[in-house]
Structure 1
Amino acid sequence: MPTTIPIPRPSAAPQPTAAPDSLLEFRNIRVVYDNAIEAVRDVSIAVPEGGIVALLGSNGAGKSTLLKAMSGILYTEEGVIESGSIRFRGEDVHHLAPDELVRRGIVQVPEGRRVFASLTIEENLQMGGYTRSNAAARERRDKVFALFPRLHERRDQIAGYMSGGEQQMLAIGRALMTDPKLLALDEPSLGLAPLIIDRIYEVIVRLRDELKMTVLLVEQNAQRALDIADYGYILETGRVVLDGTARKLAANEDVQEFYLGVSSSGRKSLRDVKHYKRRKRWLS
């Protein structure tokens, strides 16, 4: 498991407050698994409409838990929201079933892609558009093919025989078939080659700029995420420890050192990071 490097919370820093135009808000959320394990503690996050918000943090920081809470699937892992709320377009939605959340416009692409391996690309997309009329589904499919020409070229191919990058494209395309208002992507770059990651991230930017879609991007690859995000939050051990515009976070020395891998003295080794972690200022 990757080493968890805590980022110090700025002194007297208030919890982030939602902007008036926020599409999605997590308000003081606390999530507990199996009545014993606290995964997220008092987290408040605002996702403005039409922007890309990045959730950054090491493995186990609570990023995926927030997405599961948002998507209504915590129950599959014995997780519950013990306090706080999730609001979408000003309404509490944390009590809604997953299918109702999809109909409201909240759609998640989970980590690991999870396509229907025995179905073709075309059939996977049809499954994604089951809540739409036939005409609307065809229109959405054409938009997906325009975003991912490779899927169009191989639309009759069995999904299980596709490369990891192609499966990630298909997973995103299948989510887009629902015509989401908010698209949540959980580790979209995980395990992919750099050229494929470039393509995936180009599409994410197009979703914001051309389709005016709101994107919540969960990543461990902080550099990639901050390159395209408008705003970002850094989570450690279930808490927000730092937030700001993507430019502000990218310029922060601690973020550069522990998430971007560089500092004023150059790139740091894992040994340096572990030594730095033990310094007194990280113990607060």
Structure 2
Amino acid sequence: MIQTQTQAAGGAAPPLLEIRNARIVYDHAVEAVREVSLSVPQGSVVALLGSNGAGKSTLLKALTGTLALEDGEVEKGAILLDGEDLGRTPTDRIVARGVSLVPEGRRLFANLTVEDNITMGGHLKGAADLARLRAQVYDLFPRLAERRRQIAGYLSGGEQQMVAVGRALMAEPRLLALDEPSLGLAPLIVDQIYATVARLNAEFGMTILLVEQNAMQAMEIADTVYIMENGRIVLDGPAEQMRGNLDVQEYYLGFSGGGERRSFRDVKHYKRRKRWLS
């Protein structure tokens, strides 16, 4: 079975991932993330929301050990997995410790088959485990079983996203991080992807960190929501509470106080944003 997480008995789940007062810079000068703290308890779904350029993907790069590839570094603070600072831990060791990323844009090997792409996610596994895990991925995504011999570059965007998720699951992650999984996909396909993510959490107890601009969709499956603007966390709380927050409804969900849908362009959010960032 895909590895599961169990919560501590008799209380709140301990954090599997914790980011403490992180300040992240590029080229020793450009500040992308400042004083960000967040917690991802075991067995939970945490959504990190915000517009493009807010700093969400930078946090994921820090978590997965790929920040240095873009001359970035965590200048201050810590990123803790099971209470241990990841520090300069290389990406392969982070994967071995149970963190898998579904990157923005999917980043498949376009000239390889669906099955080859999926198998690469389990490169640290033996043959028996590879067969078992592939069977589980095909159970989650029956369409991929039908297309296992097809070249990945010829799949639809939704099918490619399924391959990217399946590849990440081959490592049997304890923490699955998804970077903009709904980007560029039709609403029906987005629903299918999110249904699978919700199933991974509900049935297997998998811990999920979901980075999104699609706030409405993410809040439907999240337990906790953090909202980023300009490199900072400006709001956070339980998803149910956040869905009822008037600021979130107006700015992120596009509803006015009367409940009618409004154009994002017409939302009068500047005073609210000034208050959040003050």
Is the 8 Å Cα contact of residues 101 and 168 (structure 2) preserved in structure 1? yes
Residue by residue, what CA displacement relative to the aligned partner does 1:204-250 show, whole Å, maximum 9, x if unpaired? 01110111110000000000000000101001111111110000110
Would the alpha carbon gap of residues 197 and 92 (structure 1) be closer, same or farther in structure 2, given more than 3 Å must change? same
Match of 1:221 among 175, 198, 214: 214
- What is the deviation of 1:267? 2.4
Would the alpha carbon gap of residues 278 and 199 (structure 1) be closer, same or farther in structure 2, given more than 3 Å must change? same
Determine whether 1:60 maps to 2:60: no
Would the alpha carbon gap of residues 32 and 165 (structure 1) be closer, same or farther in structure 2, given more than 3 Å must change? same
Determine whether 1:33 maps to 2:26: yes
Match of 1:151 among 137, 144, 147: 144
Is the 8 Å Cα contact of residues 205 and 228 (structure 1) preserved in structure 2? yes
Is the 8 Å Cα contact of residues 56 and 235 (structure 1) preserved in structure 2? yes
Would the alpha carbon gap of residues 62 and 168 (structure 1) be closer, same or farther in structure 2, given more than 3 Å must change? same
Residue by residue, what CA displacement relative to the aligned partner does 1:25-61 show, whole Å, maximum 9, x if unpaired? 0011100011111000011110000110000011111
Counterpart mapping for 1:108-119 below 5 A: 108-119=101-112
SS of aligned partner of 1:86 = strand
Structure 1: distance between partners of 2:13 and 2:158: 37
Counterpart mapping for 1:76-155 below 5 A: 76-155=69-148
1:268 equivalent in structure 2: 262
Structure 1: unaligned runs, 5 residues or longer: 1-18
The one-letter code matched in structure 2 to 1:222 is: A
Structure 2: distance between partners of 1:270 and 1:224: 16
Could you tell me the TM-score, scaled by structure 2's length?
A: 0.92
Q: Structure 1 stretches (4+) deviating beyond 6 angstroms?
A: none
Aligned residues: 265
1:8 equivalent in structure 2: none
Is the 8 Å Cα contact of residues 70 and 94 (structure 1) preserved in structure 2? no
SS of aligned partner of 1:53 = strand
Structure 2: distance between partners of 1:153 and 1:280: 48
Would the alpha carbon gap of residues 211 and 74 (structure 1) be closer, same or farther in structure 2, given more than 3 Å must change? same
1:230 equivalent in structure 2: 223
Is the 8 Å Cα contact of residues 251 and 264 (structure 2) preserved in structure 1? no
1:13 equivalent in structure 2: none
Structure 1: distance between partners of 2:165 and 2:82: 23
- What is the deviation of 1:278? 5.4
The one-letter code matched in structure 2 to 1:140 is: L
| Stretch deviating more after TM superposition (257-266 or 144-153) | 257-266
The one-letter code matched in structure 2 to 1:193 is: A
SS of aligned partner of 2:23 = strand
- What is the deviation of 1:276? 3.9
Would the alpha carbon gap of residues 30 and 279 (structure 1) be closer, same or farther in structure 2, given more than 3 Å must change? closer
SS of aligned partner of 1:190 = coil
The one-letter code matched in structure 2 to 1:82 is: E
The one-letter code matched in structure 1 to 2:173 is: P
- What is the deviation of 1:270? 3.9
Aligned CA-pair RMSD? 1.5
The one-letter code matched in structure 2 to 1:182 is: L
2:64 equivalent in structure 1: 71
Could you tell me the TM-score, scaled by structure 1's length?
A: 0.90
SS of aligned partner of 1:68 = helix
Structure 2: distance between partners of 1:270 and 1:129: 42
Is the 8 Å Cα contact of residues 22 and 48 (structure 1) preserved in structure 2? yes
Structure 1: distance between partners of 2:232 and 2:170: 33
Would the alpha carbon gap of residues 97 and 281 (structure 1) be closer, same or farther in structure 2, given more than 3 Å must change? closer
- What is the deviation of 1:272? 2.5
Percent of aligned pairs with the same amino acid: 59
1:179 equivalent in structure 2: 172
Would the alpha carbon gap of residues 83 and 20 (structure 1) be closer, same or farther in structure 2, given more than 3 Å must change? farther
Counterpart mapping for 1:192-207 below 5 A: 192-207=185-200
